[in-house]
Amino acid sequence: MSSVFRADSPSPGVDAQSFRVDLRGIVDLLSHHLYASPQVYARELLQNAVDAITATRRADGGDPRDTGRIEVTSGDATDDGSLTISDNGIGLTETQVHELLATIGRSSKRDELGFVRHEFLGQFGIGLLSCFMVSDSIEVTTRRAGEPTVLWHGSSDGSYTVRPAPDDGQRPEPGTTVTLRPRPGCGQLLSRASVTELVEHFGAHLPHPVTVDGRRVTGGPAPWDRPADETAAQRRDRLAAYCEEVFGFAPFDVVDLAVDEAGLRGVAFILPMPANPAVPAAHRVYLKQMLLSEGAERLLPEWAFFVRCVVDTSELRPTASREALYENDLLDDTRDRLGEGLRGWLVRLSRQAPGRLKEFLRVHHLGVKALALHDDEMLRLVTEFWPMETNAGPLTLREFHARYGVVRFTPALDEFRQLAPVAAAQGLAVVNAGYVYDAELIDRLVTVDGGIEAEALRAADLTTHLERLTAAEERAVAPGVAAAQGVLARLGCDLLVRSFEPSGLPTLYLLDGDTAFQVDLREAREQADEVWTAILGSFQTAGEARPRLVLNHRNALARQVLALTDPELRATCLEGLYVQALLLGHHPLRPADTAALNQSFLGLIGRAVAGGAQ
């Protein structure tokens, strides 16, 4: 095994030096730290066997599925607990054994066998080192057609030997046999039960028959296959059973996937329950029908978090550990194409089964809305099929526009809660656009469809839709308003008197997002040091924006409070109405608000008790 790496040619007059590499450390690094689990040794042995069969059958011009075979003998079937895996592939000559099995990183498939790289599973020439995780030595018996059998023996300390096989070790046909003897504590990984499980796990869909101790453990249709004798209903049932076994859920629907440029074919399973978009979706990926990863991420666009898929690819590149896909332009293009396939499924669903689409949107509307932000067809689906919350009941944007014309909306959930009942009483229909993506979708709808007009209704805007008092009414309440302004000023609030429905609502607290920001900014400045006070001051706007408490002149209680002549009682009542308005609008209570609540509550009880005692 080569023990040095050469640097580039030095400059003239500089002595050339060689890198010195500890091969034992390299072996330990690759075999114990490159791979996630020692179980991958089975995958790497299967990979080498498949590639050897592929090479010899390509050389013969035949179909490797006709005569290729892989035979595994577990530790339970041998006297010393060793495992062997044999194939009838191309085999190696003694020269190739020296060159290929003893050079880390050299790919026999690319450099020596002379075939195009994408025909083979392995690309890095390091897979055999994974066997050192379960065995301190690897023995390879191999024979090329027309050549004698060669025996290669490698140890985890970095040494190896090559010699002709003895007479009783000659292979009767070309091919390779790899023998592993278990390291202490690793015997279980070479047992019949473990080996059978691993072979079925990694190689269940390989195109060659694989046997363990004489029993075939591979075969049957892969998820992406379409057997000629299988009906559509039978395939659907088979895939649903596969999804439940592998992913743990019965799919809402099954979508076939294909990307020719990536040699990809597969199936997407639509989740029947909500998925967390913050958790990356994990997919099952096969490379030339060998399992590459059960947790591959970023195979689909980010918006498709409601999908789990199983795919087989022949062109996408694996990483060195062969446990993930390599990020490159082809993977980016594949991701986009798979997204187009899922988008096409949604469009077909909207035309062929609109009821099913509505059922899907009830569960996965978030992903579709994310896609609709930059896709016109998905925007159409959301507009026509997704009912949004309004103060007139659930309505799609298309229904809302047809019924009310202008699409009035509140961009914040809290604003909708405080404005919705009052706006409804004034005859104003309002859409709650406070949920994720809703406000952006309305803005985009206006841009795409020139016939739709939208208007954001903020708390400050609602006052323009409330009826002003007559001149006589304003004069009558002016003394009470002036006195009330002083009480509310202590709470950082302005007073406004208007007439509006419902008349049973005495007050309305109006606070839009910009005003809330300025209020928070002022409170932060009061508690900050000099440096932060100056910094926060740069964000403050001219004038003092304050929330408004609107008293309803149509409410008898509100009029009576303004008409009170007892300053203490008037202040107590105003504080009580103020806190009630906060609670009805789902606003958080500050310490000053809590104090006002206690003071008004206890003050009114005290008045009532005192009056009852008289």
Tell me: the pLDDT tens digits for 100-155? 776 665 544 444 443 344 444 444 346 777 888 899 899 999 999 989 999 999 88
- Determine the residue type at 11: S
Residue 534, classified by CB atoms within 10 Å of its CB into exposed (0-12), middle (13-18) or buried (19+), is exposed
Q: Considering only 11-20, 168-177, 382-391, 580-589, which range has the smallest mean pLDDT?
A: 11-20
pLDDT in tens, 547-577: 888 999 999 999 999 999 899 999 999 999 9
- Cα 271 to Cα 130, 243, 275, 547: the distances in Å are 36, 10, 8, 45
**Alpha helical stretches, state H, 544-588:** 556-563, 567-584
Query: pLDDT (tens digit, 9 = 90+) per residue, 381-407?
Result: 999 999 999 999 999 999 999 999 999
Please calculate the CA angle 113-118-124 and round it to the nearest 5 degrees. 70
State the distance between the two ends of the chain, measured CA to CA, in whole angstroms: 108
pLDDT for the residue 526: 62
- Residues 480-538 have pLDDT tens digits of 999 999 888 888 888 989 998 888 889 988 876 556 555 555 556 666 666 566 665 65
Instruction: Please state the rounded mean pLDDT for residues 6-23.
Output: 58
**548-552 sheet: strands from edge to edge:** 494-498, 548-552, 507-510
Q: How far apart are CA 344 and CA 331, in angstroms?
A: 20
- The 3-state secondary structure of 43-111 reads HHHHHHHHHHHHHHHHHHCCCHHHHCCEEEECHHHCCCCCEEEEECCCCCCHHHHHHHHCCCCCCHHHH
pLDDT for 117 equals: 41
**Beta-ladder partners of 535:** none
Give 440-463 pLDDT, tens digit per residue: 999 999 999 988 999 998 877 777
In the chain the domains, ranked by start, together with CATH numbers, are 23-216 (3.30.565.10), 232-339 (3.30.230.80), 354-463 (3.40.50.11260), 470-511+547-613 (1.20.120.790)
What's the distance, CA 131 to chain centroid? 34
In this prediction, residue 33 has a pLDDT band, given cuts at 50, 70 and 90, of: low
pLDDT of 206 higher than 60: yes
The pLDDT of residue 24 = 67
Integer Cα distance of 65 and 68 in angstroms: 6
Q: Are 480 and 437 in contact (CB under 8 A)?
A: no
For 115, residues 6+ apart whose C-beta sits below 8 A from its C-beta are: 54, 55, 58, 109
Give the model confidence (pLDDT) of 531-542 as tens digits.
566 665 655 555
What local confidence, expressed as pLDDT, does residue 605 receive?
Answer: 86
Q: Note the pLDDT tens digit of each residue in 410-428.
A: 988 888 887 888 888 888 8
Helix 438-448 vs helix 397-404: crossing angle, to nearest 10: 60
- What local confidence, expressed as pLDDT, does residue 98 receive? 82
Report which of residues 58 and 576 the model is more confident about: 576
Preceding peptide of 502 cis, ω within 30°: yes
Judged by DSSP in three states, 493 sits in coil
Spatial distance between the Cα atoms of 387 and 370, rounded to a whole number of angstroms = 16
pLDDT at site 207: 87
**Both tokens assigned to 248:** 């743990």
Say what percent of the chain tops pLDDT 90.
49
Nearest one of 140, 124, 123 to 178, comparing CA atoms: 140
Residue 318: pLDDT above 50?
yes
Q: How many CA atoms lie within 13 A of 543 on its CB side?
A: 4
Angle of helix 530-537 relative to helix 513-527, nearest 10 degrees, comes to: 160
Q: Which of 57-61, 311-315, 385-389 has the lowest mean pLDDT?
A: 57-61
What is the CA angle 157-159-165, rounded to 5? Answer: 130
What pLDDT does residue 401 have?
95
> Which tokens go with 40?
């991958």
How many other C-beta atoms can be found within 10 angstroms of the C-beta atom of residue 203? 26
CB atoms within 10 A of CB 22: 11
- Separation of alpha carbons 405 and 453, rounded Å: 8
The per-residue pLDDT for 114 is 39
Section 287-310 average pLDDT: 92
Quick check: 16 pLDDT over 90? no
pLDDT tier for residue 189 given thresholds of 50, 70 and 90: very high
- List the structure tokens of 547: 């929330």
In contact, 202 and 87? CB cutoff 8 Å:
no
